[in-house]
């Protein structure tokens, strides 16, 4: 008696098993970094290339590796340029290839982390990335001016390429809970963070952006005007008035009652502490999700208003604390872009 061959069945079963395994394995994503002048590059690369500190988070970054980096960040900010040699050697030790141009980088990768500490170089560096259609995360600040912020967001929209910028403070557990409705509609909020200044940037772009990002995470868009003054202990204080009479305040930390990062939000269903720093991984996971899905976690409109808010604070300071509308500041920046695209 002849029995039917089992080889076709075995072949089908094997093929099915391979297909199932392939479906379960995450897509492999080659990541590149532009700018080796911030500690963020070491934090991100270590997590992606060696694994997260918490093994339970492994799925969040599975399949994503940093494979190449272009070292140049700032061209003239000493605190940045001094870091490049050290950080270059450290990322090389993590298995990252060093290349000599952004154009060479985009040939080797699927997605990009634009990490240059200096926002003034971001427009120049991101344009080749967008031209290549590579999804990109831009570390804070998105740019060195409001006009360049507009140029970058417009370029991403034109290229139809996923792009977002954020501080890690946006993805802290407390602010995300409030944003998602834990205390109802937020009526007012106050945040604080360090606000180290860099003369080449609007005051809050360089470091105060962290606390301002927390503020915008819970308040959302709709700020109409801004006033900058001083706290009783002489630190920066910026008060924003939102539509409907809602108020958001950012204060520079003082190392005492406002130490580090923090704040409070008041909603129609209660209040909550906000603004704590929960590490870099919460931001990294949001970035990886965008790389995988193409969905940006922070809209261009919210990013633009956040940076307009901070630019308006500078304008208010220049006018000795006068109230400044976001519209006039944004209109001025748009006119600058129109004159020199």
| Average pLDDT value for the chain | 94
Residues 106 and 209 in one domain: no
Q: pLDDT by residue (tens digit) across 212-224?
A: 999 999 999 999 9
User: What pLDDT score was predicted for residue 7?
Assistant: 57
pTM of the model: 0.92
CATH of the domain at 39: 3.40.50.720
CATH of the domain at 285: 3.30.360.10
Residues 50 and 113 in one domain: yes
Q: Which domain holds residue 325?
A: 169-341
Residues 292 and 188 in one domain: yes
In a domain? residue 154? no
Residues 122 and 180 in one domain: no
Residues 291 and 201 in one domain: yes
Residues 202 and 89 in one domain: no
Residues 322 and 279 in one domain: yes
Closest CA to 32 of 89, 144, 123, 116: 116
Say which range, 21-25, 114-118, 162-166, 242-246, has the weakest mean pLDDT.
Answer: 21-25
Confidence band for 263, pLDDT divided at 50, 70 and 90? very high
In a domain? residue 161? no
Residues 202 and 116 in one domain: no
CA distance readout (Å), 80 to 72, 76, 110, 126, 141: 9, 8, 26, 19, 14
Quick check: helix, strand or coil at residue 61? helix
User: Above 60 in pLDDT, residue 317?
Assistant: yes
Closest CA to 185 of 240, 239, 238, 245: 245
Confidence band for 9, pLDDT divided at 50, 70 and 90? low
User: Above 50 in pLDDT, residue 202?
Assistant: yes
Quick check: helix, strand or coil at residue 143? coil
Angle at the Cα of 253 from the Cα atoms of 252 and 256, rounded to 5 degrees: 150
**Number of compact structural domains in the chain:** 2
Residues 215 and 88 in one domain: no
Dist CA 326 CA 194 (whole Å):
23
User: Above 80 in pLDDT, residue 36?
Assistant: yes
């Amino acid at each position: 008696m002849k029995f039917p061959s089992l080889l076709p069945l075995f072949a089908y079963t094997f093929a099915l098993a391979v297909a199932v395994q392939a479906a379960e394995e995450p897509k492999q994503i080659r990541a590149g970094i532009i700018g080796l002048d911030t500690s963020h590059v070491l934090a991100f690369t270590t997590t992606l290339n060696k694994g997260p500190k918490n093994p339970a988070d492994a799925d969040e970054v599975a399949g994503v590796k940093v494979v190449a980096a272009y070292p140049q960040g700032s061209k003239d900010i000493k605190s940045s340029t001094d870091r490049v040699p050290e950080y270059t050697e450290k990322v090389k030790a993590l298995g990252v290839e060093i290349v000599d141009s952004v154009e060479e980088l985009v040939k080797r990768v699927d997605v990009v982390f634009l990490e240059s500490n200096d926002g003034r170089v971001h427009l120049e560096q991101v344009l080749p990335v967008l031209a290549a259609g590579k999804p990109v995360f831009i570390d804070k600040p998105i740019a060195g001016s409001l006009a360049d912020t507009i140029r970058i967001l417009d370029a991403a929209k034109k290229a139809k390429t996923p792009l977002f910028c954020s501080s890690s403070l946006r993805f802290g557990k407390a602010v995300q809970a409030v944003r998602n409705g834990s205390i109802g509609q937020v009526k007012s909020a106050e945040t604080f963070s360090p606000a180290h200044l860099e003369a080449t940037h609007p005051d809050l772009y360089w470091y105060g952006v962290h606390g301002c990002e927390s503020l915008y995470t819970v308040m959302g868009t709709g700020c109409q005007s801004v006033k900058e003054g001083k706290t009783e202990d002489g630190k920066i204080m910026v008060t924003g008035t939102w539509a409907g009479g809602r108020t958001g305040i950012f204060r520079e930390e003082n190392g005492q009652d406002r130490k580090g990062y923090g704040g409070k939000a008041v909603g129609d269903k209660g209040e909550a502490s906000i603004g704590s720093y929960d590490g870099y991984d919460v931001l990294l996971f949001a970035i990886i999700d965008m790389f995988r899905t193409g969905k940006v976690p922070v809209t261009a409109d919210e990013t633009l208003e956040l940076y307009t808010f901070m630019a308006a604070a500078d304008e208010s300071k220049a006018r000795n604390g006068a109230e400044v509308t976001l519209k006039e500041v944004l209109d001025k920046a748009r006119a600058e872009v129109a004159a020199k695209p």
